[in-house]
Chains A and B, each alone.
Chain A
Amino acid sequence: MRSCAESFSEYALRALGRDYGANLLPRGLDITLCDQLFLIGGGLIWNVYFACLALVIGFGLAVVVAVARFSENPFLSRPAGAFIFIFRGSPLFIQFFFFYSAFVLLPRAGIDIPLGFLTLTVNTSALTTAQVGGVIVLVLNTTAYSAELFVGALRAIPKGDLEAADAYGMSGFTKFRRVVFPSMLRLAWPSYTNEAIFLTHSTTLVFLSAFPARQQSGEAFYYARYFVDQTFNPFVAYPIVAAYFILLTLAIIGLFGLANRRLNRHLPKVQRPRLRFRPTYIR
């Protein structure tokens, strides 16, 4: 039997790959409670990685898509609407499968995109890894969901705010940057917090679907499933992963709550919208 310290040194960072811990995962009767705690906890690295990257990139894209969707120009709003419909209307699980099988079909050597003065080579073999391809799918998915939230917020911006901006002689990008964007963010923030939570929860799907876990380095739920397969006892690994996710959820709520305070710092205290804990939606 391993001691707890041994399993910590062997498995805490094992999720990063073979170079960071034991060669093989613990098997069968050899599995201790500490193994499960540390290996599943280490897997959270990838959950955080997927969630952070997808949220950061998706946020920028979602603002662009939302503005396009809200614009009166049908050449902008129609494609944006179609994008939102496709990614919100279909299951994330199927999206993973679809994009993975599409990425696999790309030529192995990479694709050259001539840009005139230089040639961009897209590394297609990276696209079939979860760390790149999986993030792309998550980005597209969260972009659609957040864009829908932002469109709703854009619709709800008080008329007076926009008129005040006009009265100050603001227009175009200045108006957007100083009035529209901050108001939109403020209105959408409580639901965007929920979106961040759902996205974090759905990072558990990455390795469950098509994307392979190379060198058995996967996220927390991948390891929980591995342990349940090995021990045939769902009453240990699944509660552990559930507890970790509750902690992660609380961390997100705390972080987004701070941002919410800052976004609403100009309002009197009674008027500030409170964040509500409403997690769990499936993609």
Chain B
Amino acid sequence: MDLYEFVIELARGFRKRGLKVGVSESIDACEAIQLVRGRSLEDVFTAIRVTMIKDPSKYHMVEEVVSEVAAEGGGGGGEGEGESDGQGSEMSMQPTGMSKGSGQEQNSVSTRYVMYSPAESLHRRNLKPIDISSLKTGKRIIRRMRRRLAVLPGRRSTYSKRGDIEFAKTIRHSLKTFGELMRLRRSIKILSRARLVALIDISGSMDTYTDWLVRAMYLFSRFTRRVEVFVFSTRLRRITDILEVTDLGEIRRRLSSELDLWGSGTRIGYSLKSFLDNHGNMVDRTWVVVIVSDGWDTGEPELLRWSMAALRQRAGRIIWINPHADKPNFKPITIGMLTALPFIDVLAGTSILEDYQAFLRSFGKSIKPLKRGETLARQQVSRWAV
């Protein structure tokens, strides 16, 4: 196996594990490996990481895939795992004596890669098609919610005496008076944008709401352009990239085939903590955090309390959607719900995305953006306090 074949096999290995490795990355990898060739294996691994893996949480895959490719190459495994240096030159990378790329195309498509984890039972699910008509009200509500929660200046501007002078506009307007400057044009940007991160529980206890959850994922991903969607059960997974495509069928297919967390147990605290650890930096006062969960937690409540407190400290608003909250005699008595209640701004049921009146009940009628320091309908939460 020569360098090019080796890199192609690597790229295939990474793709099988869900990484996006394009041709340009492969070309870079070839060049990079050639540059560090003759050096230690550690350098070669770094070269692969630097060029092909652009997500630190996936770094562990490098050794995995390299040894897999080395083994596939039918070679004497020794070198593949090899220590650094020595004369490991001229291909510590040539872990194989492979004559020909065994990896025929059919392999890459048909080979199912099964993930292993002792802690959870992984489930994929065949999801029903997303019903477009049911999205109509949801989209309208999401638009309203966006305007209500806007805290960031958008691109459009409006005249304001307090704003900055806009020279380009001022000069353009001076043309009316033959270049004489009669008035300085000032403007400020209009508040029109919000940022949202949705954390959606897809564990076993939420099973009955699967269709609604998929719709919610889709709707939240259309909230603004700055949105991140995560799902969790026993662990956390970012699905923003899955939802980025426009084709509903494609989204359903990818949620069905790529997501393996459906119906497992729930560890809300752990999942929130891993969100904070890996993506926590992104959340600040300008972000709205939406958590969708029924609050059944098999993890430690203390961890959930910590995570919620940390989230409260960073995020602008926290909205919790509990599917059961619509029921007439609902009381937030699950351990997760009780722990989280002091930290959230709005607690609502699934109807918030389906029924316009329910949305207004939670968010109030005015659709003006909230002023700094102003809270959402906090009474919604105090009503539940038990």
A, B from the same assembly:
no
Which B residues are within 8 Å of any A CB, using their own CB?
none
